[in-house]
Amino acid sequence: MSAVLVVGGAGYIGSHAAKALRRAGYDVVVYDDLSAGHREATLGAPLVEGDIHDVPRLRETLRARGVTAVMHFAAWARVGESVRDPRGYYWTNVTGTLAVLEAMAAESVACFVFSSSAAVFGEPEETPITEAHPTRPINPYGETKLAVERALPHYARAYGIRSISLRYFNAAGADPEGELGESHDPETHLIPLAIGAALGRGALAIYGDDYPTPDGTCLRDYVHVTDLSDAHLLALQALERGAATTAYNLGCGRPASVREVVAAVSRVSGRPVPAAVAPRRPGDPAVLYASSEAIERDLGWCPRYADLDTIVETAWRWHQRRGTH
Ligand code: UDP
């Protein structure tokens, strides 16, 4: 018996990855405290409700379920909140992750796929951002992700836990089969908020239109959550073949502006998206997009849902469907 433990597997990206793992033939066990995740997002996979700081519980789960690899998604991920509550972010994202690693070391589980973030880079010096770009986070959230990334090579040398960190740019979209989607409370992300505006839930605030970009709004690299799931699977398989600890950037490499996203939501939904320009959001760089050449070259990753309208369409279908419940 061998299984993959998906920590945070009831959340947005974790639930999509768990579905991809099961489809690829892996046994999956979800470990989640359901503080932000949703029980129904496990799609019937075994769920252990537990805290990531609970090392005995984690150890027991790894042992009892015959776990051979861990994917770790459980984290807090709101930049502004991290500035107001760094303690909560260090506790969850750093101490919590080290607890997962401690349980793995104690149970001799050697493969770890880690959810990292473009936030490790801070203000970009040049774009597209490659893995060689300096890592200088500008907020506690990015610091916590980088702290774990920096610990991982030491954990590989000392405890034999090999890992691949995946630095997501803007995770977006929903399961093309309509079973899973993005459901945060409160929601802070652009695409679900723009969809909410199209559905009559209040105007979207466009955070700044005076950036040095073609239409004055920020450029971001939206990458489909199913493409992220594919990358996790490829990373796991590489680790199973003996790959060494490393980190990859994950984006489509084609930036879209806030106004382009608004236009896409309007096109896809066939509805107007009420929007008003608001002041810049502190800490938002003008332009952020990835070079994913390294993961394409090393692991053969190739995004299948790179088109912005396709990304928006999967999200739109999910939100419409949820609205009917
Ligand atoms: N954004 C916006 N209005 C919103 C939410 C986001 O204009 O209500 C902008 C934000 O300034 C950024 C982009 O949309 O340029 C993506 O933001 P999001 O919060 O979705 O992701 P982030 O880039 O912060 O990870």
- Cα-based angle 17, 32, 187 (whole degrees, multiple of 5): 75
Q: Report the pocket of ligand 1 as residue ranges, CB < 6 Å.
A: 170, 188-190, 193, 204-207, 218, 220, 258, 281, 284
Ligand 1 center to 251 CA (angstroms): 16
Q: Give the pLDDT confidence of 136-150 residue by residue, as tens digits.
A: 999 999 999 999 999
Q: At 323, is the pLDDT very low, low, confident or very high (cuts 50, 70, 90)?
A: low
Catalytic residues: 141
The share of the chain scoring above pLDDT 70, in percent, equals 99
Ligand 1 center to 267 CA (angstroms): 19
Q: Which atom of ligand 1 is nearest to the CA of 193?
A: 8
Q: Which domain holds residue 202?
A: 190-221+253-321
111 and 199 housed in the same domain:
no
245 and 264 housed in the same domain:
no
Q: Give the pLDDT confidence of 33-72 residue by residue, as tens digits.
A: 999 999 999 999 999 999 999 999 999 999 999 999 999 9
Q: Mean pLDDT across the stretch 253-269?
A: 97
Amino acid at 268: V
pLDDT at 94 (0 to 100)? 98
Residue 143 and residue 94 in contact, taking contact as beta carbons nearer than 8 Å: no
Q: At 1, is the pLDDT very low, low, confident or very high (cuts 50, 70, 90)?
A: low
Q: Mean pLDDT across the stretch 278-293?
A: 94
Q: Give the pLDDT confidence of 209-244 residue by residue, as tens digits.
A: 999 999 999 999 999 999 999 999 999 999 999 999
Ligand 1 center to 188 CA (angstroms): 7
11 and 129 housed in the same domain:
yes
Residue at 177 is within a domain: no
Q: DSSP states of 263-302 as a string?
A: HHHHHHHTS---EEEEPPPTT--SB--B--HHHHHHH---
Residue at 293 is within a domain: yes
pLDDT at 324 (0 to 100)? 44
Ligand 1 center to 268 CA (angstroms): 19
Tell me the whole-structure pTM to 2 decimals: 0.97
Residue in 13, 167, 258, 280 to alter for ligand 1 test, most ligand atoms within 8 A of Cβ:
258
- CATH number of the domain enclosing 271: 3.90.25.10
pLDDT of 161 higher than 80:
yes
Residue 59 and residue 42 in contact, taking contact as beta carbons nearer than 8 Å: no
